Chains A and B, each alone.
Chain A
Amino acid sequence: MSARQPHPPSMRAGSSTDTLLSDQPVLEVRGLHVEIAQGFHKLVHAVSGVDLSISHKETLGLVGESGCGKTTTGKAIAGLIRVTRGNIVISGTEVDGISAKESRKLRQKVQFIFQDPISSLNPRRKILNTVMEPMSIWSIGTANERIQRATTLLEQVGLDPELVSDRMPYQLSGGQCQRVSIARALMLSPELLICDEPVSALDVSVQATILNLLNEIQARYQLSMLFISHDLAVVRSISDRIAVMYMGRLCESAPTTEIFDHAMHPYTNELLNSVPSGKIHPPLQGNGQGDEQRHDSGTEGASSSTGGQDSTDGQDGDNTFSTKYASANNNRQDHYPLSTTDQDEVPTIPIAGRAPNEKWQFHEVPSSLAPPSGCRFHTRCPYADALCASTQPDMIELSPSHLVACHHPLGM
């Protein structure tokens, strides 16, 4: 919690630019391809050329609809899925071509928080042993030291070690299990935490507390985070920068406020429009509000950490956060409205001298077994033309640190 003070949350939005100068990125991904064989002839193009970079202490939010390859990207980075092509560099070490032993060592630096909190804990192991397991895998410390560290971490993630140590995972709630997962991930002091929809399986009020916790431990341990989610409100509350993914490729990448205010890729725009609430989009007035929200979340993180086991402190945190989410999560549909969009709802943001194609109509999400040519979004894009169908757009920096892969970016 002392680490929290020198970094007021409001400053953190700018942290990505600060640390860019300081040293190499914690994670650098270049041209990542993951193709998974299905049967004898079919190939699922899960990830097709993703470039990512996460600097020290930065949180990158990775969003996109179900099946777009977000999780696959995360798991490939953590080494849980075989990479077909591409380079992954973790704090300066190229993952490809190192020995199995080195790769085991390197894996410690990247830890993964899974979506399903219960399934990520061994059902036959007591909580304390689960948290100590990382140290015993690497034979670090004596039994006493292990217990000491595990207890400390359990406290830091907001669990009472005395109460939970001897429990089994089934005796804990989803949120508590997720806390245990976080404690376990922190045992080996990783540099990068990959959170794969860590809160989407949780109750809305618990989501808020877990996000607070992630914010808090990120500041305390100076972690970088890759935060994968389909929930825009959640991603917005925690990310410094957001990358939008569609069918295995990145569409757009920009600082959080920038992407919510000035989405340039038609897909990003659709995604933002598809949040049922309307409080997220149209854009907020100015950047101030976004910062304010970040500030809120930050102070909560700080207060809950100082509050320790005090439950009222947490309650406060719940309220601010949950109201914010409630607006975005109410009436959440199973699918993004992308799949239900009527012609009337075709976005009307004008692009340079062009109105949306009048003949455009909704198309099914293409199969990742045979992804569309050119820009992968062209089959569903209201602005698509012949160029989009034939040529794949590159990621271009259209405004400072705002990269877009589109032939006809919005608002240009």
Chain B
Amino acid sequence: MLESPSHIPGNKPKQLGWSFWISVGWLGLVILAAIFANLLPLPSPDTVGVGAPFAGPSLAHLLGTDELGRDILSRIIFGSRVSLILGFASIAIGTLIGGSLGLVSGYLGGPFDSISNALAYIILAFPPLLLLLAIAAFSPPTLLKLVLEFAFLSIAPLFRVVRAATISISSRDFVQAAYALGASRTRILIREVLPNVASSIVSYALLGIAIVIVGEGSLAFLGLSISLPAPSWGNMIAEGRTFLSTDPWISLFPTIAMFSVLLALNLIADKLSARLDVREAQL
């Protein structure tokens, strides 16, 4: 009638681009390899002397062997299980707890918000690595313990990100409009607020996984991750550092593995947040 909607621009959502799909492909490949590692034609990662020690990359051992003659490719693939399980599981738990607390806290405000925010500050004030070292000093680390520790550490940062996003969304008019229409608080939280903070949750959680993988690497480097001889990327890099000058590939290949996975996670997070952001993506 008055403003004909015919001039509505036919915007298409922003394309994710090739870097996103390559990253997804690589991450998918790594995950599949980790899951089906037992089915792959690989020598056992813990068996000593499957090849000559310090052998460089060859057809028999694609990425070479380490100082004990173990197959590096096999150790990287089996080692990826530690990094991936740790990264995904701890962040999943952290997002569930931190995210829902942040959502409720940011939306309700008031004393509940003040208290939980203060608690988050206190937890954030601890240097995380020091905390992990202190715990590891008292009880030998296992995968489950590490998952729980990293989950605990990820709650506070995720809480703060989700809370901030929730506060900014909650003050928007459409939230008030839903209230004026008689929607309950739960409904507003789930139907109006959550869809709008979901993108920041997802992209921040992906970055969180990357941070946890690095964190495990740091712990392993200090010998405080899961115990040898079970492989993890971190302890492989740590073991190989003695031979850096003579046989660099022992450290180099697990480093490349970790680097490529981190890069993929970061790229995916970056592209996703751009794609899910309403303004940027014209969604």
Contacts and interface: CB of A to CB of B under 8 A. Distances in A.
A311 B181 contact: no
A138 B180 CA distance: 12
Contacts of A170: 11, 278-279, 282-283
Contacts of B279: 170
Interface stretch (B17-25, B157-165, B182-190): B182-190
Given A78-B180, A122-B196, A209 B2 contact: yes
A108 B282 contact: no
Contact of B278 (A75, A124, A163, A181): A124
A310 interface: yes
Interface string A120-134: 111111000000011
A234 B199 CA distance: 40
Given A108-B181, A111-B180, A188-B181, A173 B1 contact: no
B173 A311 contact: no
A124 B187 contact: no
A79 interface: yes
Contacts of B178: 122, 133, 137
A176 B184 CA distance: 27
Contacts of B196: 122-124
Contacts of A308: 1
Given A116-B173, A119-B173, A163-B8, A209 B3 contact: yes
Nearest to A127: B5
A25 interface: no
A107 B180 contact: yes
A146 to B, nearest CB: 14
**Residue among A111, A112, A317 having the largest count of chain B Cβ atoms under 10 Å:** A112
A308 B2 CA distance: 9
B195 to A, nearest CB: 4
Contacts of B282: 170
Interface in A119-173: 119-125, 133-134, 137-138, 158-160, 163-164, 167-168, 170-173
Contacts, number: 117
Given A107-B182, A112-B180, A137-B183, A173 B3 contact: yes
A184 B176 CA distance: 13
A122 B176 contact: no
Contact of B174 (A79, A122, A167): A122
A107 B184 CA distance: 12
A79 to B, nearest CB: 7
A121 B173 CA distance: 7
Contacts of A310: 1
A27 to B, nearest CB: 14
B173 A314 contact: no
A121 B180 contact: no
B174 A119 contact: yes
A401 B187 CA distance: 44
Given A114-B177, A119-B174, A170-B282, A313 B8 contact: no
Contacts of A163: 5-6, 8
B8 A167 contact: yes
Contact of B182 (A108, A121, A181): A108
B1 A172 contact: no
Interface of A: 75, 78-80, 104-105, 107-108, 110-112, 114-116, 119-125, 133-134, 137-138, 158-160, 163-164, 167-168, 170-173, 175-176, 181, 184, 187-188, 206, 209, 212-213, 304, 307-311, 313-314, 317-318
